[in-house]
Chain A
């Protein structure tokens, strides 16, 4: 618990690590906007190529990015399916009659049950889900004995397919870009960069420094509080609380026995921290110097120029084609 790293910072030495967090955040925003400007499959593929190039030069393993994409896999699958089903323009690529009969209905339920029971033993769960879904579709399309209960047609159009592909690639690009930022920037640097970028907001009375301070204190205390939670759980376990089992009624009691000390300890800690900060003459909103100052190098300018170039080309291809 002691060495838990918040975020997913991956130590490295490539140019992405040498960049200033400010320029990284700005570059990320420019590239994301450019991605949203693009409207054509070819262009978005070129954009994907650029992102892959950044990964290659930046020396970030693609496998690490793929792991980051895992949580949004379901979202990707949903958008993909909906796009394919509901867009009905362009050329018809594929159509099939799906019929549900008295025989295939129980068969379908059986397959789903079988999938549900066996999925924990399969290593590639996602692939297994896809195979099952595809298997059911094929069965519905080809195997039609008995009296028909209902039937519908599955039609796939050119625009649906390309649209689905387009949105999927766009999502992947966005997630990959933000993953690059969190992989190559320490939370503290990110925080400092954010503070500097939000500085102009002081005109409308938003104090960027305070926001940054809140974020950094919160980040700093996550491991500490995890540690405390662990200790509380042990202390309660030695009084017979078994956090792994119990009925719902017991569960509520278990959670209360964990939460109440947790709150009390956090309040006490924040009180102590406030006193410690005041003892060292911390005054909110006062100007202060930093131990680590950010410095803008030629590299940062180059990257920003490169990103602006991509941004302009994105606008150009959008207007021209």
Chain B
């Protein structure tokens, strides 16, 4: 197991004494290879807090998170000795807003900033930058530009490239597709899927788009008010009754299928995954 949460609670401290409890008794295991996980839940349900535990940016108030054999507890940092930095290279976390991390004069310098911090030689880092910038759908011309003159979507891609260049073993992305047009969103999701398939790495994505969840994920985690309320296959999730109480949507494809079943008065023998799938099913029936 690459990452293991054991009875993790996390509270945001506040000055008036009433601490806000963001995570409540989380137990979770994430494998090093081969998982494509989506993390969903309404705003403020603790998704971002959960992923920030995954590379030891924040430490649990009680309980422990074990990342690649290193146990992170409340007072891990105070005891010293434990180096948390190497963990952040192995578990790469892309934040939701690229504005929080872009700061260099050129895109190139910004992308190689991460690798250089982890001791990668500059020449190697530049090579990596040239590769990852293409992966995220921009061309090499962009490396010379200033990150502040880019559009929102381009900034987002550059910030993702900055993490990809670190070559993490596990890639965690906090709403990577927000603010992107449908084409850009699909391109990026294909990129993550490619990373997952070709390199067999685990990818964790926070998203609000149920279509993404249904189409790509091999495993889905649902957060609700700080609790991890569901951990399993997306197909099973959307047939559950209490999905409405978690404020989740139904993917379009399932909605269409159900309506078709109603109209045609049939029961398809399996849940279609894509629109093509559904088309085949309908053809079979008719």
Contacts and interface: CB of A to CB of B under 8 A. Distances in A.
A238 B171 CA distance: 12
Say what secondary structure dominates the interface of chain A.
helix
B14 A234 contact: no
Contacts of B99: 261, 264-265, 268
A2 B19 CA distance: 11
Contact of B52 (A228, A234, A265): A234
B148 interface: yes
A187 B101 CA distance: 33
B14 A261 contact: no
Interface stretch (B88-96, B201-209, B219-227, B233-241): B88-96
A239 B87 CA distance: 11
Interface in B146-169: 148, 162-163, 166
Interface of B: 12, 14-16, 20, 52, 55, 57-58, 77, 84-85, 88-89, 92-93, 95, 97, 99-104, 113-114, 117-118, 148, 162-163, 166
B15 A4 contact: yes
Contacts of B55: 238
A257 interface: yes
A257 B57 contact: no
Contacts of B12: 1-2
Nearest to A254: B117
A241 B114 CA distance: 8
A contact residues, range: 20 to 34
Given A3-B14, A234-B95, A239 B117 contact: yes
A272 to B, nearest CB: 12
Interface in A223-246: 228, 231-232, 234-242, 244
Given A234-B52, A238-B92, A265-B99, A257 B113 contact: yes
Contacts of B57: 234, 237-238
A121 B77 CA distance: 21
Interface of A: 1-5, 228, 231-232, 234-242, 244, 256-257, 259-261, 264-265, 268
B95 A238 contact: yes
A232 B101 contact: yes
B165 to A, nearest CB: 10
B2 to A, nearest CB: 16
A235 B89 contact: no
Given A3-B15, A5-B15, A237 B103 contact: no
Contacts of A237: 57, 88
A236 B55 CA distance: 12
Given A240-B85, A240-B114, A235 B101 contact: yes
10 contacts: A4-B15, A231-B100, A234-B58, A236-B100, A238-B92, A238-B93, A239-B101, A242-B84, A257-B113, A265-B99
Contacts of A257: 103, 113
Nearest to A268: B99
